[in-house]
Structure 1
């Protein structure tokens, strides 16, 4: 019982300090709520803004994000390479970079023209870095974890890059329809592939800690829990400021997660196929 209380207090400490960091950095750079004009002109103010409860809504959403980040970190932390400080740092920075790509989407795809989104991405990267360091210090064991990977583990990156680009690119044609988003340039495609590639690299970093006997179950866990819940909650920030249909946000994220799932499933199938062919060749040789 005592250990459970201490564990809960450690997690609560991480959440509180991270939110305080977010609030402090927001006053210096990257004020919260800069939305692209295309969204502002299409959708009205959200009920949170019109009822004057924007700040409580932001705090609640930030807390939810931290809770799910902590749940997933506690599940996979023992498989992240390095000592406890760097385990947390790797985890927090990985999501900070993912959010950077999320903010640059507003510039590249939504044609925002508002480069304050870059400031916002720096704010969130700093907050998630603090989150990671605290999580590693308070929640990880002191010993160093050494993970050996084969070079072919990196094959997850191109598979996820291509499938995320296809699925996330496709959702522009049936979500947020009033603003008529389309893939129009090489830069748009490059953003899709780079973002998908980073998600694939996150799987490379975290997969040793995903301890499911069935690899395909582990892929579902990564696609819809480790990546998916974070991507959904990050995107839900739109709903705090604008009256965007919640279904559009959910469908947008489900489509992206499915792209990651398809990419990783194809990658895992190829690994199994390679191992099977290698075993058969050994049997023939013997």
Structure 2
């Protein structure tokens, strides 16, 4: 039995530079990962199968069409695997939930069989966030997010609180609503320096489609983190704290004020 966590992905910064002729967008982003997320278990079987359960399992309409099944199809892993996926991360939430699940499959295959030399290309074929999610370590992504370089991670171990208003926000319409204005490159430096000086260019179009994101951000900023921002294309927002005590107090306060919001507390990897 192989067991793996699909670590939640957040974008500490996300700068959209231009629309490309192929319909995608040229990005500069700082990926980071939380030490919690979905959970997967795999055992050898006659053929591949996927069973889903957990808080957000009902949001997966077609398990066999899920990105986990696609990741299995993309990699040699013996005759088959029976995979169980505990879906703990909301879907269409800016956390790369499906990409994180696929990344976890890649890591399980690596442990059980090794990865093929072209695994990065296979990962990118499944989604722009998947290559970063395979290693689930802080890194800088350029191009569509698939061209990766390491980042000096001075935020590892930082307490983080994720909050989502339980409203899905599909990625496509948010990118389509981006105003096309290039607001400049992502700054250079350590992870902390980039995060604090950076921005998320998708916040405005996402809030226009889901005003509750602004409420989440305002509530997080009232808990006095050293930074709070929306992740990806929303609707999940995150806040980073100097201490676990500060983060715990924030989680308790928001739980009391907004019991309907989803939240996950952890540390940056």
TM-score (norm. length: structure 1): 0.24
Greater fraction helix = 1
**More strand as a share of residues:** 2
Report the TM-score when normalising by structure 2: 0.25
